[in-house]
């Protein structure tokens, strides 16, 4: 199978009805311009259903979960664990494989730090020996990663003496997996292969099955950054066969401050803790402590309760629409944006030019106009896009650009908004005099 499950043909959704669920989308910006929100790759907007669920929980059942025996504590714990169950089902995982984190960045750091904890110091649990890293070991990542799936591995290498290696990106925005050089990136020294499920800049969806196959062949663990895939397409983590995966609530119509780390049950069972303290213990004595089984072992302290419950509501919302329909909708917007932007003189897409193995992040350059300046003109028309290096600086360097403009879509975006974007780019070109009006 490919990285993301194929979408059912003919899946459609009612955008007007969906937009009515998002209060923020009806506001205007910059002197009465309707908001055209094309920055869901950075953070998505939240429907009333998510906001109402959080508020309802806080007004009726708020309490610290997994402590206390009073009525509210019981209701809060049930709501929190019910959210975990629905989120697990949403991504094809078992409930015990879902760990709540602050965001995807923390999820990836959790794995990196836990592996680090298995690699240094005294009295490491024998079960955790399998994660031990040291000089001579290698961690593999890719040039198209978000900093969140790169810097934690650089740091883990620094702490353990392991070496970082990476797959390069080709000019057309794909991973180079087949050059002579690429063939040796994953080898018998590789212990971890960390890669994105969908580039947050290029939109590229790398061949997960091939990377998982190569990693398994040498006994390396796979860590998938699923931040840009889980919100936009059906994802079945068991079917993908990755060992760990991480995603954020705020990119999938849910609250900020909540993310998910998925780990295969057998691995979470053996993984030492990252953050320690309350909730995550089994037995505490002054001489030392033992730890709770997962997922509790990885959720130290009072967790983000209303946020987790809000994420449960977001997953319900997306499930009701159907992720096949979400994917098909975003695919059609992406295709229109790719075609219409490439039609403009001086506009270059950074990343694959077609929707094949590609999601809904469309990064581009406008000849002669700095992205910041372009985004200012777009902003004056009410269009919100991301500019900069999008936390993927090495990727921009590989393309020889300092920064880019990125439009990204979600379930509430419309074809008219794609047209507004294209007209805005055209207006920026006229304003800066790079094309004649």
Partner 1 sequence: MYQEIILDHYRNPHGRGLRDPFEAEVHHVNPTCGDEVTVRVHLSGGEGRDAKVEDLSYDALGCSISQAATSVAHDLLVGHTVGEAFDTLDAYQAMVQGRGKVEPDEDVLDDAVAFAGVAAYPARVKCALLGWLAFKDAVAQAQAGGSS
Residues assigned a catalytic role: 391
Give the shortest CB-89-to-partner 1 separation in angstroms.
Answer: 38
Structure tokens at 306: 């209303």
DSSP 131: G
**Does residue 387 belong to the site contacting partner 1 (CB under 8 A)?**
yes
In angstroms, what is the minimal distance from the CB of 323 to partner 1? 32
- Stretch in the footprint of partner 1 (CB under 8 A) among 16-24, 205-213, 277-285, 383-391: 383-391
Per-residue burial over 136-150, b = 16 or more CB atoms within 10 Å of its CB, e = otherwise: ebbbbbbbbbbbbbb
Cα–Cα distance for residue pair 96/93, rounded to 1 Å: 8
Residues of 246-263 as b/e, b for ≥16 C-beta within 10 angstroms? bbbbbbbbbbbbbbbbbb
Is 372 a binding residue for partner 1 by CB under 8 A? The answer is yes
Question: How many other CB atoms are there within 10 angstroms of residue 195's CB atom?
Answer: 25
Contacts with partner 1: how many residues (CB under 8 A)?
14
- Of 320-328, 352-360, 372-380, 411-419, the segment contacting partner 1 by CB under 8 A is 372-380
Q: How far is CA 104 from CA 92, 232, 235, 294, in A?
A: 18, 16, 16, 18
The stretch near partner 1 (CB under 8 A) out of 233-241, 324-332, 348-356, 396-404 is 396-404
Distance CA 174, CA 13 (A): 30
Q: Could you tell me if 224 and 241 are in contact, meaning their C-beta atoms sit under 8 angstroms apart?
A: no
* 373 interacts with partner 1 by CB under 8 A: yes
The window from 84-92, 311-319, 340-348, 395-403 that contacts partner 1 (CB under 8 A) reads: 395-403
Shortest separation between residue 380's beta carbon and partner 1, angstroms:
9
Of 173, 263, 360, 371, the one binding partner 1 by CB under 8 A: 371
Joined together, the tokens standing for residue 189 give 């020294």
Q: What is the DSSP letter of 322?
A: -
What is the nearest approach in angstroms of partner 1 to the Cβ of residue 178?
30
SS3 category, 94: coil
The answer to whether residue 96 forms part of the interface with partner 1 (CB under 8 A) is no
Q: Is the peptide bond before 295 cis (omega within 30 degrees of 0)?
A: yes
Q: What does DSSP assign to residue 5? A: P
Cβ atoms of 327 and 309 closer than 8 Å: no
Site for partner 1 contains 389 (CB under 8 A)? yes
Decide if residue 318 touches partner 1 (CB under 8 A). Answer: no
Minimum distance from residue 403 beta carbon to partner 1 (Å): 5
- Find the part of the chain contacting partner 1 (CB under 8 A) among 73-81, 82-90, 197-205, 370-378: 370-378
Q: How far is the CB of 53 from partner 1 (least distance, A)?
A: 32
Integer Cα distance of 248 and 320 in angstroms: 20
In 53-153, the DSSP E strands lie at 98-101, 138-142
Residues near 367 by Cβ (< 8 Å), separated by ≥ 6?
346, 347, 348, 434
Minimum CB separation of residue 199 from partner 1 in Å reads 17
Tell whether residue 368 is a contact of partner 1 (CB under 8 A): no
Q: Does residue 403 touch partner 1 according to CB under 8 A?
A: yes
HEC string of 221-242 equals: EEEEECCCCCCCCCCCHHHHCC
The residue among 87 and 392 lying less far from partner 1, judged by its C-beta, is: 392
Q: What is the C-alpha to C-alpha distance for residues 107 and 112, in angstroms, rounded to an integer?
A: 9
Instruction: CB nearer to partner 1: give 162 or 169.
Output: 169
Q: Could you say whether residue 200 binds partner 1 (CB under 8 A)?
A: no
Residue in the block written with tokens 């505490």: 284
- Which residue in 158, 367, 376, 430 binds partner 1 (CB under 8 A)? 376
**155 or 380, CB closer to partner 1?**
380
Query: Does 423 contact partner 1 by CB under 8 A?
Result: no
In the complex, the smallest distance separating the C-beta of residue 432 from partner 1, rounded to whole angstroms, is 8
Of 56, 189, 216, 370, the residue at the interface with partner 1 (CB under 8 A) is 370
Told to check if 208 binds partner 1 by CB under 8 A, we report no
Beta carbon nearer to partner 1, 82 or 348:
348
**Of 25, 388, 419, 426, which one interacts with partner 1 (CB under 8 A)?**
388
Helix (H) or strand (E) holding 112, with range, is helix 104-117
Return the range that interacts with partner 1 (CB under 8 A); candidates 185-193, 198-206, 382-390, 419-427: 382-390
Q: Are the beta carbons of 263 and 111 closer than 8 angstroms? A: yes
Nearest residue (CB) to partner 1, 8 versus 376: 376
Question: What does the binding site for partner 1 look like in residue numbers (CB under 8 A)?
Answer: 370-373, 376, 387-389, 393, 396, 402-403, 431-432
């Amino acid at each position: 199978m490919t990285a993301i499950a194929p979408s059912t043909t003919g899946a459609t959704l009612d955008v007007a009805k969906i937009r009515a669920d998002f209060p923020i989308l009806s506001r205007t910006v910059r002197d009465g311009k309707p908001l055209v929100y094309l920055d869901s790759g950075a953070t998505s907007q939240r429907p009333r259903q998510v906001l109402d669920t959080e508020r309802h929980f806080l007004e009726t059942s708020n309490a610290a979960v997994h402590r206390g025996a009073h009525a509210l504590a019981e209701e809060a714990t049930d709501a929190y664990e019910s959210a975990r169950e629905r989120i697990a089902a949403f991504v094809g995982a078992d409930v015990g494989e879902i760990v709540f984190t602050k965001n995807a960045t923390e999820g990836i750091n959790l794995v990196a730090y836990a592996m680090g904890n298995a690699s240094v110091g005294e009295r490491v649990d024998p079960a955790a020996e399998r994660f031990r890293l040291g000089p001579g070991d290698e961690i593999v990542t890719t040039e198209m990663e978000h900093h969140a799936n790169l810097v934690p591995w650089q740091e883990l290498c620094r702490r353990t003496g392991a070496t970082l290696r990476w797959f390069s990106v080709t000019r057309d925005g794909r991973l180079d997996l087949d050059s002579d050089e690429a063939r040796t990136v994953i080898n018998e020294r590789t212990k971890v292969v960390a890669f994105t499920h969908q580039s947050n800049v290029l939109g590229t969806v790398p061949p997960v099955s091939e990377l998982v196959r190569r990693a398994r062949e040498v006994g390396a663990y796979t860590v998938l950054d699923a931040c840009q895939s889980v919100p936009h397409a059906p994802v079945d983590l068991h079917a993908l066969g990755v060992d760990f995966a991480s995603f954020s609530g705020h990119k999938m119509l849910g609250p900020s401050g909540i993310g998910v780390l998925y780990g295969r049950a057998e691995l979470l069972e053996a993984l030492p803790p990252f953050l320690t303290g309350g909730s995550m213990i089994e037995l505490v004595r002054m001489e030392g402590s033992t730890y709770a089984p997962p997922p509790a072992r990885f959720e130290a302290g009072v967790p983000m309760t209303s946020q987790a419950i809000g994420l449960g509501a977001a997953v319900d919302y997306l499930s009701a629409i159907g992720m096949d329909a979400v994917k098909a909708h975003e695919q059609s917007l992406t295709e229109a944006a790719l075609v219409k932007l490439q039609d403009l003189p001086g506009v270059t897409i950074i990343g694959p030019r077609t929707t094949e193995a590609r999601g809904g992040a469309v990064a581009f350059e406008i000849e002669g106009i700095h992205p910041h300046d372009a985004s200012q003109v777009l902003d004056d028309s009410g269009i919100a896009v991301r500019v900069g290096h999008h936390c993927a600086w090495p990727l921009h360097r590989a393309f020889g650009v300092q920064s880019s403009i990125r439009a990204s879509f979600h379930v509430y975006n419309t074809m008219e908004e794609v047209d507004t974007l294209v007209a805005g780019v055209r207006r920026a070109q006229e304003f800066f005099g790079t094309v004649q009006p």
